[in-house]
């Protein structure tokens, strides 16, 4: 089965990056960390972390998300699996 690009975003879990960021924010809060704490670890400012958490896409990259995950004591593992 071949998915047409126009149908790809209507598939389940169409926003995995948004879901991942929501999970990271939840983990940050559960650990009692502030945006400034995460920013200090990442070597950026709290405004950057705020923009990242608000899903401003120009701030999102795999490297930045991994740094955020490390700041809250986790790592991101990506898995490719077949649909269906």
Predicted pLDDT of residue 63: 94
- Residue 43 belongs to a domain: yes
Q: Is 2 part of a structural domain of the chain?
A: no
Positive or negative, the CA dihedral 4, 61, 77, 12 is: negative
**Residue 74 neighbours by CB under 8 Å, 6+ apart:** 24, 27
Residue 25 lies in a domain: yes
51 domain-assigned: yes
- 55: domain CATH number? 1.10.260
Q: How confident is the model at residue 82 (pLDDT cuts 50, 70, 90)?
A: very high
List pLDDT tens digits, range 19-69.
Answer: 999 999 999 999 999 999 999 999 999 999 999 999 887 778 899 999 999
Domain that holds residue 24: 14-71
Residue 20 lies in a domain: yes
Predicted confidence at residue 83, as pLDDT, reads: 83
Cα separation, 4 vs 58, whole angstroms:
25
């Amino acid at each position: 089965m071949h998915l047409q690009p126009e149908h790809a975003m209507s598939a389940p879990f169409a926003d995995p990056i948004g879901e991942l960021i929501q999970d990271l924010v939840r983990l940050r809060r559960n650990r009692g960390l502030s945006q400034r704490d995460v920013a200090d670890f990442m070597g950026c400012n709290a405004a950057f972390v705020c923009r990242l958490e608000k899903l401003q896409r120009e701030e999102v990259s795999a490297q930045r998300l991994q740094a955020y995950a490390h700041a809250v004591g986790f790592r991101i593992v990506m898995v490719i699996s077949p649909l269906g």
